[in-house]
């Protein structure tokens, strides 16, 4: 009898090979965090060098996020055709080229286009690393692996932000993009050597040599090899229905509401991350203090994402999300009031970071349980893609309001409101495979 591949991985111990695969995915997710901060931390320096308006800064901040949205919606689906690993390699090349060329940009339109190209690669890559992380983690460690991958974003932002501060002070804003491009380029040989292809892709899509490739991966994990590809998995693959499947029956309302939730939360999330360093400077702090405030947001995010995973298993996903929305909105109001007070602003930055990252981790955990297995990846990808449109809009809206004379405090009051509206959109989501009023573990299966 042939061994059940998924069962042997789900209930077996994590091998060094599996840990390496998950670790690489965490590092790749850290690139997303650094990319956002590369522009956010450089904004004041670029603005001073090019004499930019708030709207022009907003365009530069939004361009990368627009690229991420396009990558999630249109580039990521190619992973189902050519494989997760090949697409990740293509995306890494795209990110590296976009970052390195950004260092050579001479005006706003050039830099905006290159930021969009960089975002395209990041958006296309994220869905694939989510899949690989879930597949190579066992049941016992899957929740931990997913949380660690989610917190890869603030970890990358924190480390990258600290490095960016040094580079900006010594070598100017262009050096930040050179550094990001070189780090991304260095990941290509790592992925080639150590990152495996998706198991489900080999089983479901069956590219040439799929059986041999699958057995080599199983051998590297110390699992029994198989003499033929599982028939059942291929049948399940044919059931996948694409985007239309997200609107069948009762899924239609759930799909619309999770899209609205992602849009609203990412709208606030990317305003906070993108604009806080510059707004702290506008409130009277030095450029270095503004960068420190941005780093502290991400330090808080590391704590908040981990704490959310711990509490979700005990409180319940929906009540915990509602609590995060309310508390974070109140903290943003407090930050608006005390943005000019150094010590208070820094403490609030850590707390806001914890809250806003908790909101994001919660939605990342929520979306998959709304959909059956055959539409789960599509549902997650499109939820992220819809959220990215909110991310694109946020810096543009903030820049326009700043040009219109809005003080820093009012911006934080205004961007707290979407979190309160998100309470209603999450409330309208129906119950799914997991009881949302009961404790829910962060797992893809």
Task: Note down pLDDT in tens along the chain; length 445 residues.
Answer: 355 777 788 788 889 999 999 999 999 999 878 876 788 878 889 999 999 988 898 889 889 888 988 888 888 778 877 888 999 999 999 999 999 999 999 999 999 999 999 999 998 888 788 778 878 888 777 767 777 787 788 888 888 888 988 999 899 999 999 999 999 999 999 999 999 988 877 887 788 888 898 888 888 888 888 878 776 544 454 445 567 778 887 788 889 999 999 999 999 998 988 788 878 877 778 877 887 888 888 889 888 888 886 787 677 778 888 999 999 999 999 988 887 777 888 889 899 999 998 898 888 777 767 777 556 667 777 888 899 889 888 888 988 898 898 888 889 999 999 999 999 998 887 544 443 444 444 433 3
pTM beyond 0.85, yes or no: no
Residues 101 and 10 in one domain: yes
Residues 133 and 264 in one domain: no
Residues 98 and 228 in one domain: yes
Query: b or e along 341-350 (b: 16 or more beta carbons within 10 Å of the residue's beta carbon)?
Result: ebeebbbbbb
**Which of 210, 239, 268 is the last residue before a domain boundary?**
239
CATH code (residue 199): 1.20.1250.20
**Which of 208, 223, 239 is the last residue before a domain boundary?**
239
| Residue with token string 């609107």 | 247
Residues 21 and 78 in one domain: yes
Residues 259 and 218 in one domain: no
Residues 308 and 422 in one domain: yes
Residues 58 and 15 in one domain: yes
Residues 211 and 279 in one domain: no
Longest Cα separation, the chain:
72
> Quick one: tokens of 102?
């950004």
Residues 62 and 89 in one domain: yes
Residues 165 and 299 in one domain: no
**Which of 206, 224, 239 is the last residue before a domain boundary?**
239
Domain hosting 287: range is 241-445
CA-to-CA distance for 299 and 371, rounded, in angstroms? Answer: 32
Residues 398 and 431 in one domain: yes
Number of domains in the chain: 2
């Amino acid at each position: 009898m042939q061994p059940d591949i998924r069962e042997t991985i789900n209930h077996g111990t994590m091998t060094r090979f599996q840990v390496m695969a998950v670790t690489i995915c965490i590092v790749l997710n850290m690139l997303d965090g650094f990319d956002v901060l590369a522009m956010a931390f450089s904004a004041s320096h670029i603005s001073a060098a090019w004499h930019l308006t708030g709207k022009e800064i907003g365009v530069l901040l939004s361009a990368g996020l627009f690229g991420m949205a396009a990558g999630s919606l249109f580039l990521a689906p190619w992973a189902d055709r050519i494989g997760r690993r090949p697409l990740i390699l293509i995306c890494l090349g795209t990110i590296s080229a976009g970052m390195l060329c950004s260092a050579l940009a001479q005006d706003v339109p050039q830099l905006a286009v290159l930021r969009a190209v960089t975002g395209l690669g990041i958006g296309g890559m994220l869905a694939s690393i989510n899949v690989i992380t879930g597949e190579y983690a066992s049941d016992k460690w899957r929740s931990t692996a997913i949380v660690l991958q989610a917190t890869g974003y603030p970890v990358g932002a924190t480390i990258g932000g600290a490095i960016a501060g040094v580079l900006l002070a010594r070598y100017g804003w262009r050096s930040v993009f050179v550094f990001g491009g070189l780090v991304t380029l260095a990941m290509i040989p790592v992925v080639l050597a150590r990152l495996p292809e998706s198991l489900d892709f080999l089983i479901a899509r069956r590219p040439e040599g799929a059986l041999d490739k699958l057995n080599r991966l199983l051998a590297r994990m110390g699992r029994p090899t198989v003499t033929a590809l599982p028939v059942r998995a291929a049948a399940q693959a044919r059931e996948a229905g694409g985007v239309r499947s997200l609107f069948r029956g009762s899924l239609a309302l759930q799909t619309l509401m999770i899209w609205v939730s992602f849009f609203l939360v990412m709208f606030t999330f990317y305003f906070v991350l993108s604009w806080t360093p510059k707004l702290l400077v506008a409130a009277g702090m030095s450029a270095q203090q503004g960068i420190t405030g941005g780093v502290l947001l991400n330090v808080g995010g590391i704590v908040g994402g981990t704490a959310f995973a711990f509490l979700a298993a005990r409180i319940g996903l929906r009540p915990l999300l509602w609590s995060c929305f309310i508390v974070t909105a109140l903290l943003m109001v407090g930050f608006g009031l005390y943005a000019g007070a150094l010590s208070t602003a820094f403490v609030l930055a850590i707390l806001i970071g914890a809250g806003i990252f908790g909101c994001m981790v919660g939605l990342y955990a929520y979306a998959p349980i709304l959909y059956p297995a055959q539409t789960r990846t599509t549902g997650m990808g499109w939820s992220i893609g819809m959220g990215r449109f909110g991310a694109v809009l946020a810096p543009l809206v903030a820049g326009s309001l700043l040009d219109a004379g809005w003080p820093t405090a009012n911006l934080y009051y205004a961007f707290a409101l979407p979190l309160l509206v998100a309470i209603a959109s999450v409330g309208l989501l129906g119950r799914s495979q997991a009881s949302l009023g009961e404790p829910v573990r962060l797992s893809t299966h």
